[in-house]
Structure 1
Amino acid sequence: MTELYGGIDPRDIPTYSISDAARYLRIPAGTIRSWTVGRHYPISNGSNFFRPLIPIRDLKPKLLSFTNLIEVHVLRAIRKHHQIDLRSVRDALDFIDEQFQASHPLARERFLTDGVDLFIERYGSLVNASKSVQTEMKDALNTHLERIEPDDTGLAIKLYPFTRSSEENNPRIVVIDPRIAFGRLVIAGTGIATSVLAERYQAGDSIDDLAYDYECDRLKIEEAIRCELPLVA
Structure 2
Amino acid sequence: MNDIYGGKTPRDIPNYSIGDTARYLKIPAATIRSWTVGRNYPVSEGEKKFYPLIEVKKSQPIRLSFTNLIEVHILRAIRKHHKIDLDKVRATLDYIDEQLQIPHPLAHQEFQTDGIDLFIERYGSLINTSKQGQTNLKDALKTHLERIELDDRGLAIKLYPFTRNGEQDNPRWVVIDPRIAFGRLVIAGTGIPTSILAERYKAGDSIDDLAYDYDCDRLKIEEAIRCEMDNQKAA
Task: Look up the match of 1:217.
Answer: 217
Choose 42-51 or 104-113, whichever is displaced more.
42-51
In the TM superposition, what is the alpha-carbon distance from 1:56 to its structure 2 partner? 0.6
Check if 1:188 corresponds to 2:188: yes
Asked whether the 8 Å contact 1:22–1:29 carries over to 2, the reply is: yes
Verify the 8 A CA contact 2:159 2:176 in the aligned structure 1.
yes
Aligned-partner residue type, residue 88 of structure 1 = K
Aligned to 2:29: 29
Inter-partner Cα distance in structure 2 for 1:222 and 1:120: 37
Question: Is the CA contact (8 Å cut-off) linking 2:23 and 2:232 kept in structure 1?
Answer: no
Equivalence for 1:158: 158
Cα deviation for residue 6 of structure 1 reads 2.5
State the AA in 2 paired with 1:106: L
TM-score relative to the length of structure 2 = 0.96
- C-alpha offsets along residues 78-122 of structure 1, whole Å, 9 cap, x if unaligned? 112332211111111110010111110000011011111000000
2:9: which partner in 1? 9
Once residues 82 and 177 of structure 1 are traced to their aligned partners in structure 2, the CA distance between those partners, rounded to angstroms, is: 29
Partner of 2:60: 60
- Counterpart of 2:115 in structure 1 is 115
Deviation at 1:185, TM superposition (A): 0.4
Q: What residue in structure 1 maps to residue 77 of structure 2?
A: 77
Identity of aligned residues (%): 73
Task: Give 1:231 shift.
Answer: 7.9
Asked if 1:105 corresponds to 2:105, the answer is yes
List per-residue Cα deviations over 1:14-72 (Å, max 9, x = no partner): 00000100110011111111101111111112111110100111101110000000000
Cα distance in 2 between the residues matched to 1:131 and 1:67: 31
For 2:169 and 2:205, the matched residues in 1 are separated by 29
Matched, 1:40 2:49: no
Matched residue, 1:96: 96
Contact 1:24–1:161 at 8 Å: present in 2 too?
yes
In 1, the alpha carbon distance for the partners of 2:230 and 2:211 equals 19
Residue 8 of structure 1 aligns with an amino acid whose one-letter code is K
User: CA–CA distance in 1 between the matches of 2:148 and 2:74?
Assistant: 9
* Structure 1 equivalent of residue 174 of structure 2: 174
Distance 1:171 1:183 in 2: 19
Partner residue, 2:147: 147
Give the unaligned 5+ runs of structure 2. none
Q: Give the conservation status (yes or no) of the 8 Å contact 1:211–1:217.
A: yes
* Contact 1:174-1:186 at 8 Å conserved across structures: yes
CA distance in 1 between partners of 2:83 and 2:198 (Å): 37
Contact 1:14/1:65 (<8 A) preserved:
yes
Whole-Å Cα distance in 2 between the matches of residues 144 and 225 of structure 1? 23
CA distances 1:102-158 after superposition (whole Å, capped 9, x unpaired): 110000011011111000000111111110000000000000000000101100000
Shift in alpha-carbon separation, 1:81–1:229, aligned structure 2, 3 A: same
For the residues of structure 1 that align with 2:97 and 2:144, how far apart are their CA atoms? Answer: 19
